Amino acid sequence: MLYEQIASNKRRTWVVMFGFGLLVLALGAALGDVFWANWVSGTVIAAVVAVVYMAIMISQSTNVVMSMNHAKEITSVDQAPQLWHMIEDMAMVGKVPMPRVFIINDPSPNAFATGNDPEHAAVAVTTGIMDRLDREELEGVIGHEISHVRNYDIRLQTIALALSAAIGLLVSFANNWFWWGGSRRRSDDRDSGGNVIGIVISILLIILAPLAASIAQMALSRNREYLADASSVELTRNPQGLINALRKIDDSQPMQAADPNSSALYIGDPFKNKKKMGDLFATHPPIADRIARLEKM
Amino acid sequence: MGWIILIVVIAILAIWYVSSYNGLVKTRTYVQESWSQIDVQLKRRNDLIPNLVSTTKGYANYEQGTLKKVVELRNQLTAVPADDHQKTMEVSNELSTTLRSLFALSENYPDLKANTQFTNLMEELTNTENKIAYSRQLYNSSVASMTVKIQSFPSNIVAKIHNFQGSEYLQVPEEEKTTPKVNFDDFK
């Protein structure tokens, strides 16, 4: 089960990288076509930017994600003995190395894990979760995060996050040029019919890109939460702790420090999106469903 | 032609034999390693108990009876022969239960709970208790995988030739016995 999950996560990571790569290239081509009437240069620039960005993100992913979420690293057990000991326990029983530990100064209880693989993983928790949850509950949460580490969910999610952030960057870049640079050029050669189609495609891409990115991110995360909950119970042997933890996480105010792009990483939706219509686009399965599954154990 | 087939068959058998043997050695090492993890924590707890006694010394009426029992069990634990894992865990489980009741009773001593030295010590002891429980969980799961290797065909042949012995599972205390059934079928 675990090995299948790891293999599938590694495979999906490649598919996601490939898919996002295509999307970035298409976007680059469309933008190149609009601004310079030359899709080749757009594609080349997008490819270069994408490769450089991906290289930086992959090598720095943990630090980038942590600073995006205002998380501060703690490096010794004395800074938070309980938390440190619990992470140590869960890493031991999950047979992964001790991850780096980060704390987010936010009164809302939440936690997430990130990194490229179990050897380079990190776990972050909010100060709120340390204040409000008792030992058994927090242990369930840490078990959940260590399960994400152990089955390579973190690699897939971190790369998806990096790539969707890249597309966001590209789109906002394009938006700026569309208003400032694009209009000048458009008046120069308004007689070329092909450009109109190019512009339409570009607009579509500019609208579609963020949507595609967010849907891809959502597809990555939902079933994983159920699985990580179950794996956590396998480690702690204590479903009640996680059930109570999920209740407390659900019953709290939204987070201030969380980064919107990273919301899928968190154990509970940090922004508490309760819209019914949002169900299809929700990054997290409803807490009630997760509790129901845990209660069956 | 016949020779080549014979050599190939012998080579395959030799490779199989070596890899089963190495597999058995590996699982045996895992079992030994996970025992030493438990052992480290047991020693650590034995070192912490005198601190508990000295920290609570100023609080004359602090659960003398329970405290005395803790110290007795600790001394008993150090006297158990190192290779008697079952007996060691038996005493250790009793010590865990006594310590847990001591922790629960400390709720009645507000001034003791305000003592940071005491709260630090409590965290250390709780941490050790949890680590003992988790390393026992690991130990039992590595014993399980070793048992499978020793008993299943064909690796049982190699196990028999080299006299690999399975280890006994460690007893889990009554109050921790309710193991939840984790069902992964929903995620397939």
Degrees, nearest 5: CA angle A275-A279-A280? 135
Instruction: Tell me what pLDDT residue A222 has.
Output: 67
CA dist A255 and A272 (Å) reads: 8
Is A225 known to sit in a ligand binding site? Answer: yes
Chain B residues in contact with A86 by the CB 8 A cut-off are 130
Strands A100-104 and A71-74: antiparallel
- Boundaries of domain holding A237: 2-295
Residue of chain B whose alpha carbon sits nearest to that of A240:
B180
- pLDDT tops 60 at residue B42: yes
Chain B residues in contact with A223 by the CB 8 A cut-off are 187
Mark B82-110 as b/e (b = at least 16 C-beta within 10 Å): eeebeebbbbbbebbebbeebeeebeebe
Instruction: Tell me what pLDDT residue B1 has.
Output: 82
Mean pLDDT for the stretch of residues B49-59? 81
DSSP class of B175:
G
CB A232 within 8 A of CB A140: yes
Instruction: Tell me what pLDDT residue A191 has.
Output: 46
Q: What is the 3 state secondary structure string of A175-188? A: HHHHHHCHHHHHHH
CA dist A260 and A233 (Å) reads: 28
pTM of the model: 0.80
Chain A residues in contact with B100 by the CB 8 A cut-off are none
Instruction: Tell me what pLDDT residue A56 has.
Output: 81
The total domain count for chain A is 1
Could you tell me how many CB contacts below 8 A there are between chain A and chain B? Answer: 51
- pLDDT tops 70 at residue A170: no
- Which residue would you say has higher pLDDT here, A144 or B109? A144
Residue of chain B whose alpha carbon sits nearest to that of A232:
B182
Phi, psi (5° rounding) for residue A115?
130, 170
CA quadruple A5, A11, A17, A18: dihedral sign: negative
Q: Which of A31-45, A219-233, A276-290, B107-121 has the lowest mean pLDDT?
A: A276-290
Instruction: Tell me what pLDDT residue A187 has.
Output: 47
Instruction: Tell me what pLDDT residue A269 has.
Output: 86
Cβ neighbours for B118, distance < 8 A, ≥ 6 positions apart: B55, B56, B106, B112
Structure ipTM over 0.85, yes or no: no
**H helix runs in A237-251, sequence order:** 239-250
Instruction: Tell me what pLDDT residue B82 has.
Output: 80
Confidence of residue A283 (pLDDT cuts 50, 70, 90): low
Winning range, highest mean pLDDT, from A70-84, A249-263, B101-115, B145-159 = A70-84
Winning range, highest mean pLDDT, from A106-110, A219-223, B123-127, B166-170 = A106-110
- Retrieve residue A210's tokens: 């963020």
CA dist B52 and B124 (Å) reads: 10
**Which fold is adopted by the domain B44-55+62-167?**
de novo design (two linked rop proteins) (1.20.1440)
Chain B residues in contact with A297 by the CB 8 A cut-off are 180-183
* Domain range annotation of chain B: 44-55+62-167
Q: Which residues on chain A place their C-beta less than 8 Å from a C-beta of chain B?
A: 1, 81-82, 85-86, 88-89, 92-93, 95, 135, 223, 226-227, 230-231, 233-234, 237-239, 293, 296-297
Instruction: Tell me what pLDDT residue A190 has.
Output: 47
Query: Would the CB atoms of A230 and B184 count as touching at under 8 Å?
Result: yes
Winning range, highest mean pLDDT, from A39-43, A118-122, B33-37, B154-158 = A118-122
- pLDDT tops 70 at residue B45: yes
Each residue of A254-273: pLDDT tens digit?
A: 998 888 778 888 998 888 76
Is A284 known to sit in a ligand binding site? Answer: no
Is A148 known to sit in a ligand binding site? Answer: yes
State chain B's maximal CA–CA distance in angstroms.
89
Paired strand residues for A104: A71, A126
| CA A143 centroid distance within chain | 19
The answer to whether the bond into B154 is cis (omega within 30° of 0) is: yes
**Percentage of residues in chain B having pLDDT higher than 70:** 90
Query: Would the CB atoms of A296 and B183 count as touching at under 8 Å?
Result: yes
Confidence of residue B12 (pLDDT cuts 50, 70, 90): very high
How many other C-beta atoms lie within 10 A of the C-beta of residue A123? 27
Instruction: Tell me what pLDDT residue B188 has.
Output: 45
Instruction: Tell me what pLDDT residue A196 has.
Output: 63
CA dist B127 and B134 (Å) reads: 10
Query: Would the CB atoms of A81 and B135 count as touching at under 8 Å?
Result: no
Mean pLDDT value across chain B: 84
Confidence of residue A142 (pLDDT cuts 50, 70, 90): very high
Which 56-115 residues of chain B touch chain A by CB within 8 A? none
Confidence of residue B175 (pLDDT cuts 50, 70, 90): low
Mean pLDDT value across chain A: 81
Mean pLDDT for the stretch of residues A165-170? 69
Strands A100-104 and A121-126: parallel
Instruction: Tell me what pLDDT residue B177 has.
Output: 54
Considering CB atoms only, which of A1, A89, A230 is closest to B134? Answer: A89
Confidence of residue B53 (pLDDT cuts 50, 70, 90): confident
- pLDDT tops 80 at residue A241: yes
- The reply to whether A145 belongs to the active site is yes
Mean pLDDT for the stretch of residues A101-126? 94
